[in-house]
Structure formats: structure tokens, C-alpha cells
Amino acid sequence: MGSCISISISCNGTIFNRCLDCFLGEAAYVRNLQENVEALEIDLRKLIARKKDVDERVRNAERQQMMTRLNQVQRWLSSVDAVTAEADKLIRDGSEEIEKLCLGGYCSKNCKSSYKFGKQVAKKLRDVRTLMAEGSFEVVAVRAAESVADERPIEPTVGMQSQLEQVWSCLVEEPVGIVGLYGMGGVGKTTLLTHLHNKFLGQGDFHFDFLIWVVVSKDLQIEKIQEIIGKKVGLFNDSWMKKNLAERAVDIYNVLKEKKFVLLLDDVWQRVAFTTVGVPIPPRDKSASKVVFTTRSTEVCGWMGAHKNFEVGCLSANDARELFRQNVGEETLNGHPDIRELSETVTKECGSLPLALIITGRAMACKKTPEEWRDAIKVLQTSASEFPGLENDVLRVLKFSYDSLPDDTTRSCLLYCCLFPEDYRIYKENLIDCWIGEGFLKVTGKYEVQDKGHTILGNIVHACLLEEEGDDVVKMHDVIRDMTLWIARDTEKTEDTEKQKENYLVYTGAGLTKPPNVREWENARRFSLMETQIRTLSAVPTCLHLLTLFLIFNEELEMITSDFFKSMPRLKVLNLSGARRMSSFPLGISVLVSLQHLDLSGTAIRELPKELNALENLKCLNLEETHFLITIPRQLISSFSSLIVLRMFGVGDWSPNGKKNDSDLFSGGDLLVEALRGLEHLEVLSLTLNNFQDLQCVLKSKELRRCTQALYLYSFKRSEPLDVSALAGLKHLNRLWIHECEELEELEMARQPFDFRSLKKIQIYGCHRLKDLTFLLFAPNLKSIEVSSCFAMEEIISEAKFADVPEVMANLKPFAQLYSLRLGGLTVLKSIYKRPLPFPCLRDLTVNSCDELRKLPLDSNSAKERKIVIRGYRKWWEQLKWVDQDTKNAFLPCFRSIN
């Protein structure tokens, strides 16, 4: 029995149409094969012709220096080559495939083969036509950008790794965009910058598009900076350089704003305006572009808008020794047993300045005998400019900083510092007094000269030609001193414009027991004879041009002959400070009618003669620490009508009998105040007062309140409280000593707000009944406190005095600027301050014989940098009570036992 199967297929019209289209499209590859092969051959010839034209344009462009083809042009040319090779093969094979066609070209004897070939021809024809359309280039080549950077050569260095890592860490880990490296010439700033350059190249963590090095130098040229940057970023060509500054800046900006760059600017002397150059200003951002620059001036760091600055200082003693050794060589150092020891002296003469160590080390490499080394040391110590290589390779490098100082006055003020010995701590106020006496600082109005002096000092410090030590002292680096001596001796001119090689004569040192031959003085304008062992000055020199004579800290000097000064008609500055054995005043000084500055501080003189009234041009008189001076004639001070500076701090306080001579200025009453009030030009005054009446007279005088900067109160014979808040009326008071006021029980304070904003140093000694120094709360800028032999003092600060006005205490930040706190012989002292204080600046805390002081105002957050040194007896230290164990552990390493 059969069965019948019926299959029904439902055919959708859309699917059928798609299949038909597909069949007809694929059939077209066969049907159009011959036409497409012919079209491919024609269009390929056109593409090859276009390629030849583009090739010629590229070659012509690349014949110009630093021009390179565009990447898109190169890619097009490569694509044309590839397509041409493939199309040529298809055209060659085309005749064979065409012969397979039949039925008028609509079918093929080998449908599969013809279909496949026809599809390849059609695709290649589309490729050729696409490339033809893409081959219309307006520009085929541009100025080539330089490589990101090449590693810069650098010699082996010593002692720089730590600072390199510090700066590098700042650049890649902190939110900074602009970093300044500053320091004196020859210290290694460029070397450090070169290390940073090479470190950027080798560091994969900090990605950037451009690393650009520009030497700026003193002669700032914006065009030159733009040219270097332009070459790096591919803008530089003849037409671009014909653009003006602003147009080039726009071009640079438009390139760099989209990129991440590192710009290293070496030897910057003035502000480089980023916007004028076209450099986008890097923001404070860890991942931002970076600008790092070197300069010899801290002012430039401010002008450049640096987010962080690093001082590049001289080497440590060990690193200086190693750098010198590397440049001398072991063969020379080991050539004789004495040479290694002598090399220590030579290294010291270089002042740890890398440039000086390198140049001197190389010069000494050929010196094989101790005799040669000793001779070299003598040259370095007496006339460094004559040492081989130092003048051209070191001193002239440093002179750029000297030349760049703002004006001739500032340059003269710097040269003046070479009169002081090596490593000498120069007090700012004493140096400015000398400048006033020399006439460097012109008097144009009251209360301006001192400010001008401090401005000049600031300019020199900012140029890294002097180094600050705290607020009061500057020092000159040994090699900078050599440079200034070289300039002073060789370039200073006298009034007849003839160069004089001995304008500055400097003889210093304990080895000198006799003064130089007086004939050597004859042409000198400034002569320094400091820290010697000379006992007498008996010869009579003829110094017709001499302006300054320093006889400072000649502690053995006892006698100066009365005729010594008679042939110094132009002398303006005479400094005898520190001549501690000189008890008799050299009367010959009275003939120095041109004298403007006289410094007798630290001498043992007992009286000033009335003949000194001949010094009517005197502008500065320094009598500080003349402890034995008991007689100053009543009319003498008032006769110095031109005085600008009068320093009388520590006058006569060691006199056993006090000042009781009726003819003396200090005999009592208001004689002193009347004499001082008559000095119309007085700007700076330091005073010693030994009675309450004189203090009241000073405080009542508006003129004296304005100019008093230091006050020494001693031996007050009264137990009544001293209203210390009244002293706040001395607006410029920076130093206050209260000594041996044995009856004084209290330093009373007004209840209304007051402050000692200018007070920086205070010393309290021998005030046996005084119980506290609470007024120090109102001295926010205090740097130094010394308190000793005050046997009733229980607290330094007594908060109980302000228990009823808590809002006063709430607004105070005690000892925020304090650097040094020294306490001694305070036998009942129990507290410095009841609560822990931050002490952000404290470096020295000395406690001696204060056995009841069992707790310090410290916690684990105090003195966070841990640079503080705490000195005291071991027994006292072991009995201290701490806020907690963490605080004790934090300060244990800071303790130094007093032997």
C-alpha cells in the first residue's frame, strides 16, 4: 500500500528578493570583469603619476635643512606602492581570466574562478580610486621636531645625590609645576639640573612629550629662547622666524598646551615671562608639565613664580675632601707623607665650593713635593687670584654675580665686607654703621638710612654673595671673599682715576705680632688690621687717602701713640672694637675732623675726653659694652649734632663705684635725655639706664621713644613694680636687658592690649625677687630668652594673671618664633608654661641648675622637626615628667648632657 508525501514551502517575498540581489551582484563580478580590468589599468596609471608628483614635492622639501615629510604623506606613499604591486599582478592575469568568459561575458567556463578574480579586481579598483582621492596634499613636509632629548654629558660628582633625590621627589610626587634651584656661583646648580635632565630621560614613571634645555644667561633674549623651543617642537623654519615675538608665542603655546613638557632653564638672572615666550604656565599639579630653573638670586625665584625653591649649598667637609681627592689623584696625595695633611688646608681654603675644589685640585695634581704645596697654600691665603686657574675659571665666574648687583652703591657695600677675616660673623647693624660713615648711604630724610642699609644687605644676600646666620649676622664665603679682594685690589679707582693695586689692604690673623711697614699703607684707602697679636702702634704712617681703618679685636693692643692719626686727614671710619686691654683713650683721635664713624665698643676705656667735640662730622658713635666707661662730659654728646646712630648699651655697668662724677652725663636728672633730644638726626639709639628717673624721662620723650632700639636697665634701687607695658611705647625696641635689679619684685602690665612686636631678645639676670615674666606673652616675635640667677622666680609665664580675662589668652600664640631658651640658677622655678606649646622654631633649650623644674611644655607635636637640642644635667633629665611615653621617646635623642 503506497503513501503520498506532500511538502509545502512557504516562501517570503523579502527573502527571495535578497537572494536574487545577491545572485545578480555576484554575477556582476563576472559580467563586468573585462570592463573593471581595463578601468583598473587606466586609474592605476593616474595614481602612479600622482605618486610621482608627490614624491618630487617631498624630495624638494626634504632638501631643506631639518624638513621632514608628514606622516600621512609617508603612509599614503607606502599604500600606493602596495596597491600598485597588487594591481599590476591583477592586470597581468586579467587576459587569461577574460578568455574564460562565454555567453557574451555573462558566464564563464569556470564560474568559481572568474567570480573570485572579478571580486579582487573590483576591490582593487576601489582602493586605487580611494588613494587617488586622498592624494591631494597642500603640505607634504614640515620642519622636523628634534628628538625628545639626548642624554647630556656630565662628569662624576660628589655629595649631590641626596639633594638630587630631594628635588626629584618634589617634582614627581608633590603638586608643583615650577621649581627654583638657587645658590652662589660655582656651587653646582647646573650640575644638579643636568642630573635632573638625564633622570627625566631614564625615568619611565614620568611621561612627557618634550624635554627642553635652555641656557638663559645674563643677556636675556626671548627670541633665542623661542628659537630653541621652536626647534624642539617642530615649528622652526625661515618663515616662522620671520614672525614677530607675539606670533611665535602663539604658535608655541598652541603646541605645548596640548602636550606634557619639561622645560629646564639654566642660569636665569631676571624674570623670564612665560606668556611672552609662549610657554603655558604649569599649575600646582603633580602630573602637570614642569619648569625647573637655576639662578644665583633668591629674588628671581619670586619673580619666576616658583612653587618651591631649593638652595644648592656648598659641600660637607667629607664630600669636599672627596671631590678634591678625585681631582688631585691618589698618586699625588700618596707621593709624600706630608701632602695628605697639607691637602686638608688646601681643601679648607676652597671653602667647600665645588668649582674651586675642582679647579684647585687639578692645578695641584702635578705638585709632588711638600714645598710646592706649602707655597700654593701661601698663595691661596694671601692672593688667591694669582693661583693657577682661579682667576679665570672661578673668580671671573663669581664676578658675574657682583656685576649684576643693582647699582654701584650695592657693589661698594659688598666690597667693604672683604675687610673682615675669613669666616667672620659680621653683625648687620655694625656693618650698616660703617656704610653710613663711609658715605655709601646718603642721608635724605630722617628714619630712612637704616632701612636703606637693610635693603642693600637684602639685595646682596638674595644674590647669594653673603650668607645670613639668623636675623642679625651675615658671613662671606671664603671664595666670595677672595673674589671681592681681587676686585677691590685691581679695579677700585682713586679720584685721579689711576688704578691702584693696593686700595684695600687686609692683614688679619693671630700670627701677626707687628704691624706692616708703614710705607705699605701710603696708597691704601681702606685698611684692615683685625684679630692680631699686636700690642702697640707706635709708628706714624702717612695715609693721605685712607678712608677706613679697622683695628678690630686686637685683644693685645694696649697703646696707640698720640701722633698715629695725625696724617690721616680723610679718615671717615675708625673701628677699635674689641681692644679689651685698651683702657686709655687715644687722644690723637681728636684730630680726625673728617671722622664720621667711631667704634669703641668692647674696649676698656674709662673716660671720653672733652677734646672729642672736634669730631663735628660724626654720624655713628658706638660705645656698646664699654663696661668700665664712667665719664662722658656733659656737653660732649650734644656736640655731635650730626649723629644718626648712638649705641650706649652696656656702658659703665662694671664700674665698682658707679657714675657719680658731677661733671658726668650720667650724674642723674634729665641731663642725658636733654643731650639726646638735641640730636635732630638721630635714628638709632641703644641705652643703658641705672635709675628709674632716667627711664621715665626717656619714655616721656616722643623723639627718644621713636629711635630707641635697645635698652639695658641695671641696678634699679627700688622694689616698686615696673610698668613694663609702658616699654611697649618703644616701637622699635628689639633688645631688652634687665640686670641686677635686686629689689624689683614685679613687672607690672596694663590690662588693655599692648604688644612688644619688635622685641627679639630679652635677658633677665640677678633680679632676685622677680617671680615671673608673664609680659613675654605679648612679644610674638621673640627669638631669644635668657633668664638666670632669679632666685624667687617660680614661673616664666603665669596664666593666673589673666584668669579673669580668658579671651586675652585665647588669642595668643606664645613663643611662636622662639629659637633659643636658656634658663640658669632659677632655684625655685616650677613651670615655663602650664600647657604644651608647638615651639615650631625652637632649636636650643638649655636648663642649668633649675632642679624644681620637673616638666617641660612639650608633647609629641612640639618642635616637630626634632632639630631642637635640649641641654641640662643628666640627673635633672632623668627626673623629668612627660605628658606621655610618646613624648619622652620623641625627645630622648635631643638631649645633650652638661658636663
Torsion, Cα of 628, 632, 637, 639 (10° steps):
-140
- Among residues 624, 621, 601, the alpha carbon closest in space to that of 612 is found at 621
State mean pLDDT over 644-665: 74
The C-alpha cell 638652595 sits at 311
Confidence of residue 717 (pLDDT cuts 50, 70, 90): confident
- Among residues 739, 655, 737, 649, the alpha carbon closest in space to that of 688 is found at 649
In this structure, the number of other CB atoms found within 10 A of the CB of residue 619 comes to 25
The C-alpha cell 578568455 sits at 99
Confidence of residue 490 (pLDDT cuts 50, 70, 90): low
pLDDT of 20:
35
The whole-angstrom separation of Cα 836 and Cα 709 is 32
CA atoms within 13 A on the CB side of 827: 8
Query: Phi/psi of residue 119, each to 5°?
Result: -65, -40
Instruction: Give SS3 for 195.
Output: helix
Q: What are the b/e assignments for 825-864, b being 16+ CB within 10 Å?
A: bbeebebbbeebbbbebbeebbbebbeebeebbbbbebbe
Cβ contact 502:420 at 8 Å: no
599: which 3 cell numbers? 667704634
Each residue's pLDDT tens digit, 846-858: 999 999 999 999 9
The C-alpha cell 607606502 sits at 78
Element (H, E) at 339: helix 339-349
883: which 3 cell numbers? 605628658
507: which 3 cell numbers? 692683614
Whether residue 445 has pLDDT greater than 60: yes
Which residue blocks in 148-297 are alpha helix, DSSP H? 161-173, 189-202, 222-233, 238-241, 245-256, 274-277
Whether residue 285 has pLDDT greater than 70: yes
State mean pLDDT over 511-525: 87
Whether residue 653 has pLDDT greater than 90: no
Each residue's pLDDT tens digit, 658-682: 554 544 666 555 677 788 888 989 9
The whole-angstrom separation of Cα 85 and Cα 105 is 27
Whether residue 89 has pLDDT greater than 90: no
Distances (CA, A) of 558 to 571, 629, 786: 22, 16, 33
Confidence of residue 748 (pLDDT cuts 50, 70, 90): confident
State mean pLDDT over 819-828: 96
Residue with the bigger pLDDT between 119 and 782: it is: 782
The whole-angstrom separation of Cα 89 and Cα 103 is 26
Whether residue 10 has pLDDT greater than 50: no
pLDDT of 19:
35
Residue with the bigger pLDDT between 388 and 272: it is: 272
Q: Where are the beta strands (DSSP E) in 470-579?
A: 473-475, 504-508, 526-530, 536-537, 548-550, 559-560, 573-575
Q: CA angle, 311 as apex, 305 and 316 as ends, to 5°?
A: 170
Residue with the bigger pLDDT between 502 and 798: it is: 798
Each residue's pLDDT tens digit, 622-641: 999 999 998 888 789 989 99
Confidence of residue 30 (pLDDT cuts 50, 70, 90): low
Confidence of residue 105 (pLDDT cuts 50, 70, 90): low
What would the DSSP string read from start to end of 61-116? HHTSTTEEE-HHHHHHHHHHHHHHHHHHHHHHHHHHHHHTEEGGGTEETTHHHHHH
pLDDT of 692:
86
State mean pLDDT over 480-485: 92
Q: Which residues contact 746 (CB under 8 A, 6 or more apart)?
A: 721, 722, 770, 771
Fold of 405-491: Arc Repressor Mutant, subunit A (1.10.10)
Confidence of residue 501 (pLDDT cuts 50, 70, 90): very low
pLDDT of 68:
73
Quote the crossing angle between the two packed helices 189-202 and 161-173, to the nearest 10°: 50
Cβ contact 97:116 at 8 Å: no
pLDDT of 98:
66
Cβ contact 519:543 at 8 Å: no
pLDDT of 292:
97
| Mean pLDDT score across all residues of the chain | 86
- Alpha carbon distance, N-terminus to C-terminus of the chain: 133
pTM above 0.85, yes or no: no
Confidence of residue 201 (pLDDT cuts 50, 70, 90): confident
Cβ contact 189:181 at 8 Å: yes
3-state secondary structure 679-690: CCCCCEEEEEEC
pLDDT of 147:
58
- Among residues 81, 40, 57, 235, the alpha carbon closest in space to that of 136 is found at 57
Confidence of residue 402 (pLDDT cuts 50, 70, 90): very high
The domains of the chain are located at 15-143, 161-311, 317-382, 405-491, 715-801+809-899
pLDDT of 316:
92
pLDDT of 720:
80
Residue with the bigger pLDDT between 521 and 770: it is: 770
Whether residue 493 has pLDDT greater than 60: no
Strands 141-143 and 67-69: antiparallel
Whether residue 752 has pLDDT greater than 90: no
Query: Phi/psi of residue 868, each to 5°?
Result: -75, 145
Cβ contact 714:720 at 8 Å: no
Least confident of 87-96, 125-134, 521-530, 802-811: 802-811
Fold of 161-311: Rossmann fold (3.40.50)
Distances (CA, A) of 24 to 29, 94, 102, 560, 665: 9, 22, 17, 127, 129
Q: Is 687 exposed, middle or buried (0-12, 13-18, 19+ CB in 10 A)?
A: buried
The whole-angstrom separation of Cα 450 and Cα 468 is 18
pLDDT of 143:
63
Whether residue 66 has pLDDT greater than 80: no
The C-alpha cell 634658663 sits at 823
Q: Which residues contact 726 (CB under 8 A, 6 or more apart)?
A: 699, 750
Least confident of 18-22, 459-463, 718-722: 18-22
Confidence of residue 23 (pLDDT cuts 50, 70, 90): very low
pLDDT of 4:
38
Residue with the bigger pLDDT between 829 and 63: it is: 829
Confidence of residue 496 (pLDDT cuts 50, 70, 90): very low
Cβ contact 725:775 at 8 Å: yes
Distances (CA, A) of 732 to 140, 251, 705, 735, 779: 73, 55, 8, 9, 12
Strands 747-748 and 735-739: unpaired
Whether residue 514 has pLDDT greater than 80: yes
Which residue blocks in 350-439 are alpha helix, DSSP H? 354-364, 370-382, 390, 396-403, 408-416, 428-438
Each residue's pLDDT tens digit, 411-435: 999 999 999 998 899 999 999 999 9
Each residue's pLDDT tens digit, 767-822: 999 999 999 988 999 999 999 999 999 999 988 877 666 666 667 889 999 999 99
pLDDT of 807:
65
pLDDT of 809:
67
**394: Cα separation from own chain's centroid:** 20
Residue with the bigger pLDDT between 724 and 238: it is: 724
Percent of the chain with pLDDT over 70: 88
Confidence of residue 553 (pLDDT cuts 50, 70, 90): very high
pLDDT of 3:
39
Each residue's pLDDT tens digit, 149-180: 678 888 777 888 999 999 999 998 899 999 99
What strands, in cross-sheet order, belong to the sheet with 308-311?
Answer: 210-217, 261-268, 290-295, 178-182, 308-311
pLDDT of 15:
36
pLDDT of 28:
72
Confidence of residue 204 (pLDDT cuts 50, 70, 90): low
pLDDT of 181:
97
The one-letter amino acid code at 302 reads: G
Each residue's pLDDT tens digit, 231-279: 888 888 878 888 999 999 999 999 898 889 999 999 999 999 999 999 9
